Structure 1
Amino acid sequence: MMKRREFLQKAGMGVAVGVSVARIESLNAPKGLTLAEQLGFRKEDRLLILHADDLGMCHAVNVASIKGLTEGVVTCGSVMVPCPWFPEIAAWARNNPDADLGLHLTLNSEWQYYRWRPVSPWDKVKGLIDREGFMWRDVASVRENAKAEEVEMELRAQIERALEFGMKPTHIDTHMGTCFSRPDFFEVYVRLGAEYGILPMLPAPNPQILAMAKQLGIDYQPIAVRLKQQGFVFIDNLVTGGSGNTLEERRKSYYEIIRNLPSGVSEIILHLSTDDPEIRAITGAWQYRYHEFLIFTDRETRKFIESEGIKLIGYRHLAELWRRQTRK
């Protein structure tokens, strides 16, 4: 089973060993301006988005992510609408309208026993459902069985449900990278973002991403150029996670990643959780989520980031820039 982080690694968007930073060439340079400059910073500034994935998946993830957003250095996150604990995080979002939360558009249910189903009427999206009646566990099964019309119906239903619950999403991204796995899925993903006025997360192309996209039948370079011309914003550098098994090994890995960030806008993808019986029953990799929770709610991490001169931003900054550019 392949989480978003694993899919992004396979897509060349990061390497989960040592310093896992993909240096992505920037498309964000109208009139010679870098993305950092468009956001009001200096060209040489290092800007960092610390993004928590999987909010709404379970209570332990919600508790940890909220603490990361309110007491730690986490700047934003994205919510899984089909999951059982979505109502809890949606209620928190309503009560905290300044929170920078997007939607983690979901087409997979990857865990062994803890599963979820589509938001859409199940008889209308049969290609999204496995033999057990849940969403497919892996990306390949969605790619092989789902129709683009079903994907659009489900993603639209997730966006509508979030809006009905009072959320005001700042962005959308894709759980396990599934929306990037077929050209027609990707077209739906970008089009729905534009239709609803919600910024889609887009990585700027590097050779590895272009090669992986080509294998999936996506000619990403001209697509990226066209989207840039339309005002879409691309993340300069994407980090898919640290390495190590112990807390201190992972802390050292993340600090090394942060220390070596290049200029421009970088995003680190995080998965936070408290340590309790719920998350231990869901995944055998619970300790990595717990480690990330401890690291990114630690005051020493904030001090370290400040000592490196790195400026923390969220997707709200990018969304505001996108809206300005698309109004031109």
Structure 2
Amino acid sequence: MLRVIVNADDFGLSIGVSQGIIRAIAQGVVTSTSIMGNMPDLGAHLELLQSVPQASLGIHLTLSAGKPLLASKDVPSLVDKTGAFRRDSRLAVNRAETLHVEREWRAQIERVLSLGILPTHLDSHHHVHLAPRLMHLATKLAKEYAIPCIRRLTVRDVWRESHPWRHALVLPHIAISQHLALGSGLCFPDGVLALSDQLLGTLARLPSGIYEVFCHPGKVDDALCRVSSLRYERERELDFLVSAELKAGLRQLGATLVTYRELAL
């Protein structure tokens, strides 16, 4: 049996993104979303979720968008001269001291919890938690805060999704983080795929299991343009996620849409 979690990343990044995600859940195939706990006015965004109680909600741990919740003096290795996170995720990870990341990620998790959300999973903006030392930290925090699931990429996922030149750069790190997730006692899908035009063909070739498809639907607004280079691609993804073509294709595959709640059972 093929079961698919369709998770929309970046909830809270801007009101347009959050509105797009709500539409992708209400009218499309998205079953889950991940909340950026460091974003301003998060309470107003979370009110939108009341219309889609069927969705599972995770936390999108962040080091490379917006500003930290903590003061710059408490997490100096995470910020640039303006006090914002570095937008280059590789630079953000390389310069981040693990102690500072732990402080900030605890603050992000606790902020989401304080707003009444019971998260089902952790993942991260730009997949920064897949760096081995940050995967170790993320699994530790998930267990401490009783968050049952985590996004884990496998070597096979990266080989399938990446361009060949990236394999030598990322595969060793993915292999280590895959091992750390396996030993954590947390739940995770059998594989992870990025949303693409080839999604249905890729799913058709997979063995039975639970797979996560991550995506970035949204509506472009001024706030998004100030913080992200991924803009009109979000509107194209939204159109695809609510399309009759995608829904029919998933039915033809016999795929069942599920959430992270089912994975945690």
User: TM tier, shorter chain?
Assistant: 0.7 to 0.9
Preserved contact between residue 79 and residue 86 of structure 2 (Cα < 8 Å): yes
CA distance in 1, matches of 2:51, 2:211: 29
| Higher mean displacement: 275-284 or 81-90 | 275-284
Unaligned 5+ runs, structure 1: 1-44, 110-115, 243-249, 322-328
CA distance in 1, matches of 2:227, 2:153: 30
CA distance in 2, matches of 1:217, 1:261: 20
Out of 251, 262, 272, the residue aligned to residue 217 of structure 2 is 272
Is the counterpart of residue 172 in structure 1 residue 122 in structure 2? yes
Out of 241, 246, 250, the residue aligned to residue 305 of structure 1 is 250
Out of 311, 315, 321, the residue aligned to residue 260 of structure 2 is 315
The change in CA–CA distance for 1:222 and 1:173 in structure 2 (over 3 A counts) is closer
RMSD across aligned positions (CA): 2.7
The change in CA–CA distance for 1:95 and 1:101 in structure 2 (over 3 A counts) is same
Q: TM-score, normalised by structure 1?
A: 0.70
Aligned residue for 2:187? 233
* Residues 201-230 of structure 1 deviation map (CA, whole Å, 9 limit, x = unaligned): 223454968975675497346534423xx3
Aligned residue for 2:164? none
CA distance in 2, matches of 1:135, 1:289: 22
CA distance in 2, matches of 1:217, 1:290: 30
Out of 164, 180, 190, the residue aligned to residue 223 of structure 1 is 180
The change in CA–CA distance for 1:235 and 1:285 in structure 2 (over 3 A counts) is same
**1:64-213 → structure 2 map (5 Å cutoff):** 64-93=20-49, 97-109=53-65, 116-181=66-131, 183-198=132-147, 199-206=149-156
CA distance in 1, matches of 2:178, 2:249: 36
Q: What's the CA shift for 1:274? A: 2.2
* Residues 104-151 of structure 1 deviation map (CA, whole Å, 9 limit, x = unaligned): 000112xxxxxx210123211011111221001122322332211111
CA distance in 1, matches of 2:218, 2:261: 24
3-state SS of paired residue (1:102): strand
**1:6-21 → structure 2 map (5 Å cutoff):** none
3-state SS of paired residue (2:9): strand
Q: TM-score, normalised by structure 2?
A: 0.85
| Higher mean displacement: 77-86 or 216-225 | 216-225
CA distance in 2, matches of 1:61, 1:286: 9
Q: Percent identity?
A: 28
CA distance in 2, matches of 1:297, 1:312: 14
CA distance in 2, matches of 1:286, 1:217: 27
CA distance in 2, matches of 1:278, 1:55: 13
* 1:191 maps to amino acid: K
CA distance in 1, matches of 2:119, 2:28: 21
Unaligned 5+ runs, structure 2: 160-166
